[in-house]
Structure 1
Amino acid sequence: MDEHIWRTEDFEEHRPRLRAVAYRMLGSLSEADDAVQDAWLRFGRADTSGVTNLAGWLTTVVGRVCLDQLRSRERRREDPLEARVPDPVVSHESGADPEQRVLLADSVGLALLVVLDTLAPAERLALVLHDTFAVPFEEIAELIERSPAAARQLASRARRRVQGRTPVPDPDLARQRAVVDAFFAASREGDFDGLVAVLAPDIVLRSDAGGRARHSVVLTGARTVAGRALTFARLSPFVRPALINGAAGVVVIAEGRPLSVMAFTVAGGKVVAIDALADPERLKGLDLTRVGRPAPPRP
């Protein structure tokens, strides 16, 4: 009994980090929790008496579980990747709680997770485990059954793809919020030119409505996205400011029912990406209790 308690305490100490690994690997909060639970079961059956670095051992166990899930997902995937938005982590504007801060290690924004979703499973594993969680390539090589040199090459290739497609957001939350507020102010007022002015010329809008395929879209270009924003201007009164994966964003809630979560990537004073989750089933599974009241309209 004492040994069981000791092992449980050991595992729980590492659970937040393991969940962060799984979330970055899978982009799904529920699947991340399942992966960590699977790791706990494997930990319970394993003889770890000779393990000198338990954190590293558990990280590779979770990595192996996630790799299996990614490969299974890839085999059964039928829908295009472009419109899929990963699960957002929603926080109050005052800031994420300690557990969320661990989960969002190294500023894992939705735009980054979207790009990670385009990587092959082995590429994603190599990049995430090495670059974010400092797992040596020798250990990653064992997971993907390749040489350390091949694992290093996978991570390097994945890194180039991510850096080439992921905008670097403005680190100042106040500046982010000012741009997002300007976006919704222009939308409320039906100001097409004002919307275009706050959008980057090559902005990408991804909207994931789940099974409602006709509402799942990927749009590019400031004028196209501005036009789309005006068609949904009627929802502006229901917009509530929030942090989405640590960046300025909003949750749209009408009559107590969540309609969407919108993550904004702001760089250089412009919105360069909008990732919106509008899948009713997935929205039900999100914790939106941290969201504040609707923002008051500007005078």
Structure 2
Amino acid sequence: MGILASNLREDMAEYLYRVGEGLTSGFLQQSGQRWDHAAQSWEQHRAGNRWTEEFIYRQSLREQLGDVSGLRILDFGGGSGEFSEFLHENGAIVTYVDHSAQMREIARHKTNGVLEAYCLTEDLEGSARPQLFDAVVANMVLHDVEDLGGTLGWLSSRLEMGGRLFVTILHPCFKPPVHGWSSLSESSARYMIDRYGNIGLNLTAVFGGGPSSIPTLNIHRRLSDYMAALLAIGLVLDSVFEPDGRWHPEYFASPLAVADDWFRRAPVLGFLAHKPQC
């Protein structure tokens, strides 16, 4: 309370939220519970944004992985199953993993049970010879994990030598804890970013930034954190990419609302890496 109290509350936002909500441990379990609660709303949200699926996520996959026919692919954090379905339709042998039971049921129904497996990460453990994949896809999920280094290390351990890791995430330059539009006039706006360096729970998502205002948990990190974690586990970075208008020129050429932030900025960042042969 008192002078600069609001500034301090923003700087301490993650700590205060974790203590208040009992989130000092059990992040993965609570994240799964929140996605269970949000699952149906998320499915409706994605169904109403097919251009995003087609012209950002799928087109990125086409350009980065090329022909996936015959490849064994792990869809890590597969959510409601759009990527698994797309990969299967293009000839890949897909294993789907997600920590939300409700998401797994949606994916199973959507893909008619045709995938190689629907499972938890624990289901891939425990064998003398671990199941390995030609590629791992982690589409819009690494910002939902608390232990980035440990998760990337686990994903790397699931790759064959030479296998590739495809990742997309919320662009950290445009999804920090404090962000939003500031209107300059009826025809122009400026996107304002604050607290980019604050690493931790993204309170925008926690307090209603998820689909239909159903709260989910994700972690804000800097771009350098993702790159450093990737290189620390020994993967070789092949490309970093962001979506742009060439994939959907008619839509990008249309008049935009002042606050249409999906097109005035790049909210998705992606990278492709591979596991070296030796």
Flag whether TM exceeds 0.5 (same fold): no
User: Higher helix proportion, which one?
Assistant: 1
Structure with bigger gyration radius = 1
TM-score, normalised by the number of residues in structure 1: 0.27
TM-score, normalised by the number of residues in structure 2: 0.28
